[in-house]
């Protein structure tokens, strides 16, 4: 039986004292990143429920997801919304956002969230950043966040890439087994298919 309905966890996601200031700042800085943070935050909690995380684990994952790109506050908004492929130097600047976000959260006393945020661009084959971690060296909540993040990016599109339809997005993630954890992708499919969806944290 359910101990804590999903909406309750989502409500507590926003309880960090710095939530309003950081998300408010992002709303002003770059609207699409603000939308993305909210979307991935809620999706991550739903994913956590499907994946069987505890309530505290789901809450931490949801909060980390809510701030996973917060480091982009320190990246030029014109670069964030550039409607063209980025060059090498621009990608270098862009990739710094996960470590900037980690530092921002550590400075606010949220080391548990900072760890998850640092790793959200790590990939199963070691091709991610900032640490090039492989497979199970990437913590499970971080692997879940990576999948939720990638799904939202595909669905929304990027300034230089069109949006991808729901089933096509799931197929792309499923095909990218070298990048994303197979179990995490499976949990996402289960979460987003209505007949399979779980609605609560145990």
Q: How far apart are CA 158 and CA 170, in angstroms?
A: 17
Q: Which is nearer to Fe ion, 25 or 190 (CB)?
A: 25
Q: How far apart are CA 120 and CA 11, in angstroms?
A: 23
All residues at 6 or more sequence positions from 90 whose CB lies less than 8 Å from its CB, including other chains: 79, 82
Structure tokens at 62: 């949801």
Q: Which is nearer to Fe ion, 69 or 152 (CB)?
A: 69
State the minimum distance, in angstroms, from the CB of residue 33 to Fe ion: 9
In this chain, which residue has its C-beta nearest to Fe ion? Answer: 69
Q: Which is nearer to Fe ion, 126 or 130 (CB)?
A: 130
State the minimum distance, in angstroms, from the CB of residue 115 to Fe ion: 15
What are the C-alpha distances in Å from 125 to residues 98, 138, 180? 19, 11, 8
Site for Fe ion, residues 31 to 90, rule: CB under 5 A: 69
30 binds Fe ion (CB under 5 A): no
Residues 71 and 26: beta-carbon distance below 8 Å: no
Q: Binding string to Fe ion for residues 128 to 167, with x set by CB under 5 A, is what?
A: ----------------------------------------
Q: Which residues bind Fe ion (CB under 5 A)?
A: 69
């Amino acid at each position: 039986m359910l101990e804590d309905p999903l909406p309750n966890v989502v409500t507590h996601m926003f309880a960090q004292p710095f939530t309003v200031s950081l998300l408010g700042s992002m709303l002003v800085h770059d609207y699409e990143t603000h939308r993305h943070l909210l979307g991935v935050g809620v999706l991550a909690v739903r994913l956590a429920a499907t994946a069987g995380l505890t309530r505290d684990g789901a809450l931490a994952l949801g909060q980390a997801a809510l701030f996973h790109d917060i480091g982009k506050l320190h990246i030029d908004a014109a670069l964030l919304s550039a409607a063209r492929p980025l060059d090498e130097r621009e990608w270098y600047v862009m990739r710094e956002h996960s470590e900037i976000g980690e530092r921002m959260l550590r400075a606010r006393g949220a080391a548990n969230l900072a760890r998850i945020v640092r790793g959200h661009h790590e990939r199963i084959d070691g091709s991610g950043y900032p640490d090039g971690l492989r497979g199970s060296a990437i913590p499970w909540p971080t692997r879940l966040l990576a999948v939720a993040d990638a799904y939202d990016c595909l669905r929304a599109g990027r300034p230089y890439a069109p949006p991808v339809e729901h089933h096509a997005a799931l197929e792309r993630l499923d095909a990218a087994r070298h990048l994303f954890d197979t179990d995490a992708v499976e949990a996402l499919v289960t979460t987003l298919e209505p007949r399979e969806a779980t609605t609560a944290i145990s």
